[in-house]
Amino acid sequence: MTDQTPDGFTDAVVRVVMAIPSGEVMTYGEVAVEAGFPGAARAVGNAMRSSEGLPWWRVVATDGRLVPHLTGEHAERLRAEGVTISDGRVEMGS
């Protein structure tokens, strides 16, 4: 059973994000589901902001959008891992 405390949520998000392999991406919603908290996509972003050392660039919006204020760095990090970026988005499902 998943710990339902705020710290349990953050710990679960960290575990999921740390397990995303290089060159792959997940959406915030997928991270929330894998962490055991479906529907908590927005909270995933908050948990990630409060955690250092995460490969944050491997998490994107449902439509593949990159982090708005970090689009350049986000795209650069993903491209370095072999992910194709087009018009500020990851092509999802490819």
Rg (CA), the chain: 13
In a domain, 71, yes or no: yes
Question: Which tens digits make up the pLDDT trace of 30-57?
Answer: 999 999 999 999 999 999 988 889 999 9
Provide the pLDDT for residue 92.
Answer: 80
- Please report, as a single letter, which amino acid is at residue 61: A
Its domain, for residue 75, covers 6-90
Number of Cβ atoms within 10 Å of the Cβ of 43: 18
In a domain, 1, yes or no: no
CATH of the domain at 44: 1.10.10.10
In a domain, 50, yes or no: yes
Q: How many structural domains is the chain composed of? A: 1
Provide the pLDDT for residue 68.
Answer: 86
**pLDDT exceeding 90 applies to what percent of the chain?**
77
In a domain, 81, yes or no: yes
In a domain, 59, yes or no: yes
Provide the pLDDT for residue 78.
Answer: 96
In a domain, 21, yes or no: yes
Residue predicted with more confidence, 7 or 9: 9
